[in-house]
């Protein structure tokens, strides 16, 4: 290993070292690979010349040791349990910021000044309505359709409505598409909810803030006045901040991969929604509540803990474990506190499901199986309980997550488009199927 350049700056990855791979593959000569450093976080081995130099690929299913891109947006230290948006700790943003300010930060890299903040808020709010024709799409779905199924379809269909912001080569169109997506996602999620319960769609109200307007569109009805509860609006704003971005998770990587071919941002976001839906990712918030409802009483907790530990049982304790956090998820800590505040304010602090959740958390945090594997509660463990207390049905939980994560997806997508080293994402494989063989006619097959 030779020391070359140790300086790591925020201007892009810097070469720090090289590693030497001796006698690899078809090449008898040792091959030197650069070691790159970011601003913070582990160094990476740059293997871009590996195949050319050795004829070998790397193998990393699930990308457990692979950095797929350079990014300046979000940083996670999984061992410390730290999450930074553009360098700012999530705890400070949760305490002092609001969702639209966080959106600005994620998109532009800096917190807005007062003038920028007012303009951004105004510009995003301008786009809250969807094309009236979009309403007709909803009528094509069954009333019992899962809201995420509706979201995938309707958000993908936005590509058919907003041709004037689909040219990804034009920075202005990219910005308009970003604002449209951030603004319209709550409208679409609320419409999916209203459709499922047979109530009329409620148009956005631009005099309300982002979280207030989302609640208004979900809970107002045309026949009587609706006053947004400020405690619920604050809790919703917090949920949105905590879910806004999370580095190269499955849905964000999906958005980047879809976008790497030049697909438009509405189609890429629909791909992100599809990826988020799974229970190992954003669908976990719905799955946590389903699990707590199934557990139903304190006496049954040990049975579920045993099932989670049983290798022959596919059951996992939902809301526990994380690919990156091997410590308490910092978002879960904030959510845990908020959960108590919201339930107290709503006068439902004796919520039985919360009691089961707390007991489950206590047992799991002491159990050798979970301790050995660093399985801590993740953000989804508490968000479902808060959302339920707010009156949001379980099936809509992941759609709320999608509303929040849209800014992260679109910020990462824009970053990728602007990256001069961007290429179409095209992983390779290790092939284990049959080697070449000759076609056998049907009368000769056994």
- Footprint of ligand ACO (CB under 6 A): 280-282, 284, 308, 316-323, 373, 375, 378-380
Nearer to ligand ACO by Cβ, of 160 and 358: the residue is 358
Cα–Cα dist 325/79, whole Å: 6
> In this structure, what DSSP letter does residue 9 have?
B
Burial of 324 (0-12, 13-18, 19+ CB in 10 A): middle
Token output for 284: 């976990």
Nearer to ligand ACO by Cβ, of 32 and 367: the residue is 367
Q: Which of 245, 246, 322, 329 is catalytic?
A: 322
Nearer to ligand ACO by Cβ, of 174 and 331: the residue is 331
Nearer to ligand ACO by Cβ, of 94 and 317: the residue is 317
Four-residue CA torsion sign, 116, 122, 126, 129: positive
Look up 243 and say whether it is catalytic.
no
- Residue 88: strand pairing partners: 85
Nearest approach, Cβ of residue 104 and ligand ACO (Å): 23
Question: Long-range contact list for 138-141, CB < 8 A, 24+ apart?
Answer: 138/191, 138/192, 138/195, 138/201, 141/195
Nearer to ligand ACO by Cβ, of 168 and 317: the residue is 317
Nearest approach, Cβ of residue 321 and ligand ACO (Å): 2
Nearest approach, Cβ of residue 203 and ligand ACO (Å): 31
Q: Which string of DSSP letters, residue by residue, matches 144-204?
A: T--HHHHHHHHHHHGGGT-GGG--TT-HHHHHHHHHHHHHHHHHHHHHHHHHHHTPPP---
Q: Which of 380, 419, 438, 443 is catalytic?
A: 380
Distances (CA, A) of 173 to 168, 265, 341: 7, 10, 41
Q: Angle formed by the axes of helices 230-242 and 99-108, to 10°?
A: 20
Cα–Cα dist 144/154, whole Å: 16
Four-residue CA torsion sign, 190, 192, 193, 195: positive
Nearest approach, Cβ of residue 90 and ligand ACO (Å): 13
Nearest approach, Cβ of residue 224 and ligand ACO (Å): 36
Look up 380 and say whether it is catalytic.
yes
Quickly list H helices, 390-433: 397-418
> The tokens 């959960």 sit on which residue?
339
Nearer to ligand ACO by Cβ, of 112 and 321: the residue is 321
Would you call 18 helix, strand, or coil by DSSP? Answer: strand
Nearest approach, Cβ of residue 155 and ligand ACO (Å): 19
Nearer to ligand ACO by Cβ, of 372 and 443: the residue is 372
Nearest approach, Cβ of residue 21 and ligand ACO (Å): 27
- Residue 74: strand pairing partners: 85
Residue nearest to ligand ACO (CB): 321
Distances (CA, A) of 134 to 142, 156, 159: 16, 11, 11
Active centre residues (catalytic): 322, 380
């Amino acid at each position: 290993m030779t020391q070359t350049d140790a300086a790591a700056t925020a201007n892009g990855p810097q070469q720090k070292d090289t590693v030497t791979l001796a006698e690899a593959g078809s090449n008898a000569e040792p091959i030197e690979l650069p070691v790159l450093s970011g601003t913070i976080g582990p160094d990476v081995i740059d293997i871009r010349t590996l195949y050319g130099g050795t004829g070998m690929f790397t193998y990393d299913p699930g990308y457990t040791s692979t950095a797929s891109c350079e990014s300046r947006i979000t940083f996670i230290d999984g061992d410390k349990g730290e999450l930074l948006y553009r360098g700012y700790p999530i705890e400070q943003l949760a305490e002092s910021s609001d969702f639209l300010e966080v959106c600005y930060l994620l998109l532009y890299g800096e917190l807005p000044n007062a003038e920028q903040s007012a303009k951004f808020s105004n510009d995003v709010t301008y786009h809250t309505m969807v094309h009236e024709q979009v309403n007709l799409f909803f009528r094509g779905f069954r009333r019992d359709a899962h809201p995420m199924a509706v979201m995938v379809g309707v958000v993908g269909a936005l590509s058919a409505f907003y041709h004037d912001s689909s040219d990804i080569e034009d920075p202005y169109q990219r910005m308009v598409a970003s604002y449209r997506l951030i603004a319209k996602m709550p409208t679409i999620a609320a419409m999916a909810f209203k459709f499922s319960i047979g109530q009329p769609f409620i148009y956005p109200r631009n005099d309300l803030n982002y979280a207030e307007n989302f609640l208004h569109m979900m809970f107002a009805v045309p026949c009587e006045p609706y006053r947004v509860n400020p405690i619920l609006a604050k809790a919703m704003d917090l949920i949105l901040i905590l879910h806004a971005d999370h580095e190269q998770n499955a849905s964000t990587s999906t958005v980047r991969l879809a976008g790497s071919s030049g697909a438009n941002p509405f189609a890429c976001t629909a791909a992100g929604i599809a990826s988020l839906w799974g229970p190992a990712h954003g669908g976990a918030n719905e799955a946590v509540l389903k699990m707590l409802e199934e557990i139903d009483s304190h006496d049954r907790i040990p049975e579920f803990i045993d099932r989670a530990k049983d290798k022959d049982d596919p059951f996992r304790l939902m809301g526990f474990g994380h690919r990156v956090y091997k410590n308490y998820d910092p978002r879960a800590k904030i959510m845990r506190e908020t959960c108590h505040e919201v339930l107290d304010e709503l006068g439902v602090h004796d919520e039985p499901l919360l009691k089961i959740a707390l007991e489950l958390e206590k047992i799991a945090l002491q159990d050798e199986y979970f301790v050995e594997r660093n399985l801590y509660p993740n953000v989804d463990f508490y968000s479902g309980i808060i959302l339920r207390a707010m009156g949001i049905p379980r099936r809509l939980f992941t759609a709320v997550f999608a509303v929040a994560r849209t800014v992260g997806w679109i910020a990462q997508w824009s970053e990728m488009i602007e990256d001069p080293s961007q290429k179409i994402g095209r992983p390779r494989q290790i092939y284990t199927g049959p080697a070449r063989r000759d076609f056998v006619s049907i009368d000769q097959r056994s």
